[in-house]
Structure 1
Amino acid sequence: MHRYRWSESIESRLQQATERMRRLRATTMPPAAVKSLRHWFRIHHTYNSNAIEGNRLTLPETRAVVEDGITIAGKSLKDHFEAVNLAHALDFVEALASKETVLGERDVREMHGIVLRGIDPENAGSYRRINVRIGGTEHVPPEALRVPEEMRAFGEWLAGAKNEHPVVVCAIAHAWFETIHPFVDGNGRTGRLLANLLLMREHYPAIVLLVEDRARYYTALDASHSGDITAMLELTLDRLDQSFEEYERASREVLELREPAIDYLAEQLGKPPAAPPPSEAHSWHEAVRALHGALRDFASQLEARLPEGRRPSLSVTDFSEPTEVAWKLIQKTPYELFGLHGEHHGSWLALSIRSSPKKGGLPELQVSEPDVSLQLRDRITSMEPTGHTFQVTHIEGVSIRIEHGVSALRLATELWTGAINTYLLSR
């Protein structure tokens, strides 16, 4: 049984904390957001809890030491050990909070052992064997001989059933532990770890007592030594409000930003691919598809006609039905539709069939050739789909000839003939 008391005026804030915790638990937080919040708490608690005890590392320096293992020039080895140890102790507390085991005196000693690891091996996890005084307070901790007995009573209370609000339990444990002051060093850091462990076990967010709270914190501890934990409860609730705000902000971002964006994009991506406009674009697509098929058929027939040792390698890349977005691009900017590739005895060809926007009409097709110096004087410059045939523009010497009603089969034959003669047979 504990001896602590508190003002009834705290009850309304305790009820508010209960309601905020319930709302928070009803919110599904993405793992990445939870991980980010835990990371925030780990660094800020490590910095502030150590700074309260006089550690000289700044917040950025604490982050660098804990996350990157960086050594900070001008800061003591003890400062570095305190940062790393406290971060590891928080990991231990988080793991312990998720277990269903009964808490007790042994868990407190384990926490303290991690806090002083490598700093004071002789006293890490061991109760003090000397009497101590706490600077700045009239409270005198129990004599060293009484510490094991006091901690057994405290441990039994920790392990027992409790009727108080979880925040009250947290404040009682914090105050009671600091009143006993069972260790030579590291009592403050261990007490703050224990307080958070009890909150986390009841699914409350962990809290960060700020270095700016030091004077208020020590005043609250002084009051608690006489049994009044009102000031300790008020400070705990203030910092719990800060933690709630961090989680609620992240929750709002999920509900107001991420979820609507995901809903919208899922809806858009879940729609079937939009077919090109069926009116003016349909005949254009059909003509291009017919040309593509005729080019492939010509290549296949030519390869089959020759024996394997003398056979060229000819191919036409795939042509996909343009989506509505692609069709808009085709009408505004040059757009590669498919390509012709060939190889024969070390000679290569690679041509692109591209669409080219035409003002006031449907796009025309052009042949893009990589080696302009090899272009024939007599060649096709453009092909404009007109229904199931093409209007083809030829350059013949210095003159231009336009031919109407050219079939896809004929056009494919002329394209392959010109390409093979130019790139595979002329070298």
Structure 2
Amino acid sequence: MDPYRWSERIEPRLRQATERMRRLRGTRIPPSALRSLRHAFRCDHTYHSNAMGGNRLTLPETHAVLKDGIVIAGTPLKDHFEAVNLAHALDLIETRSREDTAPGEQDVRELHGIVLRGIEPLDAGVYRRLNLRMEGTPHVPPEATHVPEAMRTFGAWLAGVRTEHPVVASSIAHAWFAAIHPFTDGNGRTGRLLTNLLLMREHYPPIALRVEDRARYHAALQSSHSSDITALVELTLDGVERRFDEYERAAGEVLEPDMEASRAETPTRFSRWYEAARALHEALREVAARLEVRAPESGRPRLQTSELAALTEREWAPLQETSLALFSIRGQHQGRQVEIFFHSMPPVPDAGAVPPGIRMTAPSPERIALKYFSSAVPTGHTFSVSRDGLDAEVEHGVSALTLATELWTYAITEYLSPR
């Protein structure tokens, strides 16, 4: 691929961005303000990025979906899943941005898998198998048979050492990925996530490309197909500068210190573990909602997930030695019912630095299909699953959605279906 080029006229803005980033890193922003900025951005990016692709949720509706977990009446369930998925993908890149290992091709596929999970499961994280033409542009992406090779090259660049300004490097990644267009759907959302991953790895704030700039954004991508990324860099700089403004305003506000938030500012082993438990909890709710909607109204099961137990850092230490009830799932259908309980499980002795697991139990032990009931140890945003009765075989990299789908499928098949 020919190297990308950009106009020298943007160099002063790039230098200014570097200076503003330097000043911000030396400024203490109250943790409560940082938390507020993060939550607001999570909603803004989710709304704008999804709206770029035609999602019909409004900004307030997106906020309600992410904050309260509700399904907006009269809105396709697909729009709801797109919001939840993209927010989870943002959580993942926030975690990955703090890791020492540079992102690569597999990270791109994992991000896309989250973007499309529960929507197009056969295409989630899978390269397209058909050739395509992109609407509104003469650019023709590589043929499907060439996509794996193109993505290997792109992934090697992602994982390599880059000398460009972080804003330029993130724009190159965005343009390059868009030119390959490796997936059947979800390329735009995944490309915008990649932009933010590269920015955050260099301590720049993530950005939300606004839906009202859609025409300008498409024009910038069109120019990038001719190797000129000037317009895309300028658009990215606009987003970075807006975020700088937000952070600088927060740094200038006089707020009371929030000691509890200060302790939580740096992610801990507990916060990472609890976020994984929350991801499983939310996935169980998502799958239940999808299964209920798909069932005929006359024979629709009632599938419920209880509230997740609220834990604090102070309660983390006891989890190393005792079990704690986290939540349960309950199903009712035509007079049949089942409740499955989820508990924390102390780490296995002599297993090294392994966090507590999550143990799943059912009310009738003699009827438990051991293939399905297991312990799941959170490992980032996936789980290492030990399946009882299989000689302690461990399956790594099991997503929360996969585990949730498996559990609800088991509950319905084993307990709620006629025998």
* TM-score category (smaller protein): 0.5 to 0.7
Measured after TM superposition, the shift of residue 30 of structure 1 is: 2.0
Match of 1:40? 40
- Whole-angstrom distance in 2 between the partners of 1:2 and 1:192: 22
- Extract unaligned runs of 5+ from structure 2: 259-419
Look up the equivalent residue of 2:112 and give its one-letter code.
Answer: H
Match of 1:31? 31
Match of 2:201? 201
Match of 1:240? 240
Secondary structure (helix, strand or coil) at the match of 1:16 reads helix
Secondary structure (helix, strand or coil) at the match of 2:121 reads coil
Measured after TM superposition, the shift of residue 134 of structure 1 is: 1.2
Secondary structure (helix, strand or coil) at the match of 1:70 reads coil
- Whole-angstrom distance in 2 between the partners of 1:176 and 1:72: 36
Render the CA deviation track for 1:341-398: whole Å, top value 9, x for unaligned.
xxxxxxxxxxxxxxxxxxxxxxxxxxxxxxxxxxxxxxxxxxxxxxxxxxxxxxxxxx
Kindly indicate whether structure 1 or structure 2 has the higher relative contact order, using CA contacts under 8 Å at least 6 residues apart: 2
Q: 1:2 to 1:249 in 2, by over 3 A?
A: farther
Render the CA deviation track for 1:268-304: whole Å, top value 9, x for unaligned.
xxxxxxxxxxxxxxxxxxxxxxxxxxxxxxxxxxxxx
Render the CA deviation track for 1:53-82: whole Å, top value 9, x for unaligned.
000000000011111111111110100000
Q: Are the counterparts in 1 of residues 94 and 197 from structure 2 also a CA contact under 8 Å? A: yes
Match of 2:255? 258
1:163 aligns with 2:163: yes
Look up the equivalent residue of 1:49 and give its one-letter code.
Answer: S
Aligned identity (percent) is 69
Render the CA deviation track for 1:83-130: whole Å, top value 9, x for unaligned.
000000000010000111121000000000000000000010010011
- Whole-angstrom distance in 1 between the partners of 2:75 and 2:66: 14
Match of 1:403? none
Pairing of 1:65-80 with structure 2 (within 5 A): 65-80=65-80
Match of 1:3? 3
Where in structure 1 do 4 or more consecutive aligned residues deviate above 4 Å? none
1:123 aligns with 2:123: yes
- Whole-angstrom distance in 2 between the partners of 1:34 and 1:24: 12
Match of 2:106? 106
Look up the equivalent residue of 1:110 and give its one-letter code.
Answer: E
Q: Are the counterparts in 1 of residues 2 and 227 from structure 2 also a CA contact under 8 Å? A: no
Measured after TM superposition, the shift of residue 201 of structure 1 is: 0.3
1:54 aligns with 2:54: yes
- TM-score, normalized by length of structure 1? 0.59
Look up the equivalent residue of 1:246 and give its one-letter code.
Answer: E
Look up the equivalent residue of 2:194 and give its one-letter code.
Answer: L
Render the CA deviation track for 1:222-264: whole Å, top value 9, x for unaligned.
00001000000110101111011011110111xxx237x99xx
Moved more, 29-38 or 6-15: 29-38
Measured after TM superposition, the shift of residue 33 of structure 1 is: 1.1
Match of 2:134? 134
- Whole-angstrom distance in 1 between the partners of 2:161 and 2:101: 13
Q: Are the counterparts in 1 of residues 178 and 188 from structure 2 also a CA contact under 8 Å? A: yes
- TM-score, normalized by length of structure 2? 0.61
Measured after TM superposition, the shift of residue 2 of structure 1 is: 5.8
Secondary structure (helix, strand or coil) at the match of 1:258 reads coil
Secondary structure (helix, strand or coil) at the match of 2:255 reads helix
How many residue pairs align between the two structures? 258
Q: Are the counterparts in 1 of residues 44 and 59 from structure 2 also a CA contact under 8 Å? A: yes
Measured after TM superposition, the shift of residue 177 of structure 1 is: 0.2
Pairing of 1:357-396 with structure 2 (within 5 A): none
Measured after TM superposition, the shift of residue 3 of structure 1 is: 1.3
- Extract unaligned runs of 5+ from structure 1: 263-427
Look up the equivalent residue of 2:242 and give its one-letter code.
Answer: Q
Secondary structure (helix, strand or coil) at the match of 1:131 reads coil
- Whole-angstrom distance in 2 between the partners of 1:192 and 1:168: 14
Look up the equivalent residue of 2:255 and give its one-letter code.
Answer: R
Match of 1:189? 189
- Whole-angstrom distance in 2 between the partners of 1:167 and 1:10: 11
Look up the equivalent residue of 2:219 and give its one-letter code.
Answer: T
Render the CA deviation track for 1:377-421: whole Å, top value 9, x for unaligned.
xxxxxxxxxxxxxxxxxxxxxxxxxxxxxxxxxxxxxxxxxxxxx
Q: 1:2 to 1:96 in 2, by over 3 A?
A: farther
- Whole-angstrom distance in 2 between the partners of 1:2 and 1:161: 18
Larger-Rg structure? 1
Secondary structure (helix, strand or coil) at the match of 1:185 reads coil
- Whole-angstrom distance in 1 between the partners of 2:117 and 2:50: 15
Measured after TM superposition, the shift of residue 28 of structure 1 is: 1.2
